[in-house]
Structure 1
Amino acid sequence: MPLYEHYTKQVTDTQLADVNNIGKYRSGGACTAAAFLKEFVTSPNWAHLDIAGVMENKDEVPYLRKGMAGRPTRTLVEFITRLSQDKKSI
């Protein structure tokens, strides 16, 4: 997710708390969530995976039953597998 200052200001520019967990506008929800998480992450290398749009199956994928599908899990496992293979070749 892009970590633009625009999104960081939405979660840090608040009078009620140090950090707000929602943005001031409806758009950019995933980017705002990444900006929120950034306030707590101490590692320089991290990732925010916005899986809300693909975590549930409502009959779109015929081989998955309705409900929580675990689709992001498959993508994450494949990503980590490929990442580990790339590291071995360095």
Structure 2
Amino acid sequence: MKYVNADEVFPKELVIEMQKYAQGQIVYISKLEGNHKKWGEKSGNRQYLKQRNQAIQEEFQSGASIVELSDRYFLSVYSIKKIVYTKIQS
């Protein structure tokens, strides 16, 4: 989140009105409902983890053991179990 000076964004009349309520304070203005992104959507991490988990499931179905997958993907046995026994969401 980037700090922006209100004088640079809002009309002068609105800044004067806001100063009546929050003079000299930092105010957060949230996004409109429906404009929020889920975790990892902007960076691509969500898609990366989905693809990784699908690959883990495919390898498990092809006969790889949970311990092998744990070593290969540097994840705990517990994490691998959660991935292979959970259906991947679309």
TM-score band, normalised by the shorter chain?
under 0.3
Q: Could you say which structure has the larger radius of gyration?
A: 2
User: TM-score when scaled to structure 2?
Assistant: 0.22
User: TM-score when scaled to structure 1?
Assistant: 0.22
Q: Which one has a larger percent strand, Structure 1 or Structure 2?
A: 1
